[in-house]
Structure 1
Amino acid sequence: MHAPEELVESIKARVDTRGVSGYIAAAAALQDAMNRLRELAERLVEEHGDVTDEEQQAALDRIAAIDGRHDEQRASPDVGA
C-alpha cells in the first residue's frame, strides 16, 4: 500500500477537471456501493444458502448467451440504415 503522500501524487497525475476531491468522492462512492453489494450478498446467502456450482455455471452460461446475441447484433448490418 502506498503512503498517503504517494497516493495523492498518483491521483494528481491522473485526474482531470474534477480534481483530487472529485476523484476521492467517486472512489468513496464506489467503495460504498461495493460494501452495500457485499452486505446484500451476505443477506442472500443467509436467506437462501450458498450458490451451487451448477447454479453458478447456469448463470455464466446465460450471460455468455446474452453476450453472444449482442455480438451478433453488433456484427449484422442495420436494416433500413
Structure 2
Amino acid sequence: MATRKITITLPEDLVESIKERVDARGVSAYIAAAAAHQDEMDRLRELADRLEDEYGPVTDDEQQAALDRLAAIDDWHDARQSRSDEAA
C-alpha cells in the first residue's frame, strides 16, 4: 500500500501517551490504525443512514432480536472454546 507523509497536530499529552505504548516507528502505525478505525466507523454510519432512509428506522423489537442473535453466537463460541480447551 502506498503511503504519504503528512503533518498533524495532536495534544502533547496524547502524543506522550501513545509513545509510552509503542516505539518511535510505531507511532505512525498507531495513528494510521486509529484513523482507519474511525474511517470504518464513519462508513458504517453512512451505510446505516442510507439503509434507514430506504427502509425506515430499526424497531426496538428488531434491535432486540439482533442483540439476542449476537448473544447466541457468543454463547456458541464460548461453548466451543470450552470444549477445545478441555480436549487440550
Q: Unmatched 5+ residue regions in structure 2? A: 1-9
2:54 pairs with one of 34, 41, 47: 47
**Residue 5 (structure 1) aligned with residue 3 (structure 2):** no
Deviates more, 1:10-19 or 1:20-29: 10-19
Aligned partners of 1:27, 1:36: CA distance in 2, in Å?
Answer: 14
TM-score by length of 1: 0.80
Give the root-mean-square deviation of aligned CA atoms: 1.9
Q: Unmatched 5+ residue regions in structure 1? A: none
Identity rate, percent: 69
TM-score by length of 2: 0.75
Question: Per chain length, whose mean CA-contact separation is higher, i.e. which structure has more relative contact order (CA < 8 Å, sep 6+)?
Answer: 1
User: Paired residues, what number?
Assistant: 77
Q: Compute the displacement of 1:75 (Å).
A: 2.1
